């Protein structure tokens, strides 16, 4: 809907001048956080792959999937650049001049998505925390199990929501720090140590579904890239004081 509305706005001549800046290198540091945040879906991949009976076409499926995602992100971004002069951090708020139904629907769309995702993610995080600190033969007391773990899960995001409404810094921080950990550091270290342990147990590692980037150097490249991304976004926050 937002893409169509933006294209209609451009067609009607209400968009900004077509002389859009090709790029702003000052925004490169924050770009790391936004890109990581946009494609932070690695935690969902196992749930997609596991039910597949035949995994021979997994690579092709995900190439097509991510290609379609990139296409829609590109359409959304470029149509926004040419349709509006000053973009608000939350893109859905730029459609306030349209019909009240469209305006309120788009303005509340992030609320709908977060309202459905937040409970699921909170329950998952709570269970992961329980498993992380669990010790065999030592069950949690009722207070720890039913009160402490849920509060530890939901209080930080609620506190952040009350502390700031600056979406730029929120996306930058969550994308660059938490996102880098989820998307780069944790998967790379898991692959490294999993392969190492498998070689110790089976004395070999032969996976017919292994990636073209199976060399160990790619693991270190991902880790180095993560460090560079964190360095860029940290420097940006320090320099701009945002």
89, two tokens: 């951090």
- In angstroms, rounded to a whole number, what is the distance separating the alpha carbons of residues 27 and 4? 27
99, two tokens: 């019909």
Q: Are 180 and 230 in contact (CB under 8 A)?
A: yes
For the packed helices 186-202 and 216-240, what is the interaxial angle rounded to 10 degrees?
160
**Model confidence band, residue 181 (pLDDT cutoffs 50, 70, 90):** confident
Residue 138 forms part of a structural domain: yes
The pLDDT of residue 94 is above 70: yes
Which pLDDT score, from 0 to 100, does residue 242 have? Answer: 59
Of 51, 71, 98, the residue that ends a domain is 98
For residues 66 and 4, state if they share a domain. yes
- In angstroms, rounded to a whole number, what is the distance separating the alpha carbons of residues 242 and 236? 8
For residues 148 and 184, state if they share a domain. no
Per the prediction, the chain carries an average pLDDT of 79
Which pLDDT score, from 0 to 100, does residue 151 have? Answer: 92
Which pLDDT score, from 0 to 100, does residue 40 have? Answer: 58
Q: What dihedral angle (degrees, nearest 10) is formed by the CA atoms of 10, 14, 15, 17? A: 120
- In angstroms, rounded to a whole number, what is the distance separating the alpha carbons of residues 166 and 89? 8
For residues 190 and 228, state if they share a domain. yes
For residues 188 and 233, state if they share a domain. yes
**Model confidence band, residue 70 (pLDDT cutoffs 50, 70, 90):** confident
For residues 184 and 230, state if they share a domain. yes
The pLDDT of residue 18 is above 70: no
Residue 192 forms part of a structural domain: yes
Instruction: Read off the pLDDT of residues 228-241 as tens digits, 9 standing for 90 and up.
Output: 878 877 777 777 76
Count Cβ atoms below 10 Å from residue 73 Cβ, excluding itself. Answer: 13
For residues 222 and 135, state if they share a domain. no
Domain with 216 in it: 165-205+212-241
The pLDDT of residue 122 is above 80: yes
Which pLDDT score, from 0 to 100, does residue 26 have? Answer: 65
- In angstroms, rounded to a whole number, what is the distance separating the alpha carbons of residues 47 and 90? 30
Q: If you search the block for the tokens 């945040």, which residue do you land on?
A: 37
**Model confidence band, residue 116 (pLDDT cutoffs 50, 70, 90):** confident
For residues 173 and 229, state if they share a domain. yes
Give the mean model confidence (pLDDT) for residues 89-107.
Answer: 79
**Model confidence band, residue 132 (pLDDT cutoffs 50, 70, 90):** confident
């Amino acid at each position: 809907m937002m893409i169509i509305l933006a294209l209609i706005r451009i067609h009607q001549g209400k968009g900004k001048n077509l002389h859009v800046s090709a790029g702003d290198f000052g925004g490169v540091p924050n770009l790391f956080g936004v890109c990581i945040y946009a494609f932070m879906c690695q935690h969902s991949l196992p749930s997609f792959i596991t039910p597949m009976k035949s995994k021979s076409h997994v690579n092709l499926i995900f190439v097509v999937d991510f290609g379609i995602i990139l296409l829609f992100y590109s359409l959304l971004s470029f149509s926004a650049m040419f349709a509006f002069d000053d973009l608000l951090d939350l893109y859905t708020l730029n459609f306030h001049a349209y019909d009240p139904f469209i305006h309120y629907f788009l303005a509340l769309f992030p609320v709908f998505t977060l309202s459905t995702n937040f409970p699921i993610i909170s329950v998952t995080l709570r269970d992961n925390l329980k498993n992380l600190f669990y010790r065999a033969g030592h069950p949690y007391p009722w207070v720890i199990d039913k009160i402490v773990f849920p509060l530890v899960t939901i209080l930080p995001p609620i506190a952040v929501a009350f502390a700031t409404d600056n979406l730029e810094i929120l996306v930058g921080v969550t994308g660059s720090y938490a996102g880098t950990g989820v998307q780069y550091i944790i998967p790379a270290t898991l692959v490294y140590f999993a392969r190492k342990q498998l070689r110790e147990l089976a004395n070999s590692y032969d996976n017919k579904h292994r990636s073209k980037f199976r060399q160990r150097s790619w693991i270190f490249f991902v880790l180095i890239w993560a460090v560079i991304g964190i360095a860029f976004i940290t420097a940006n926050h320090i320099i701009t004081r945002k």
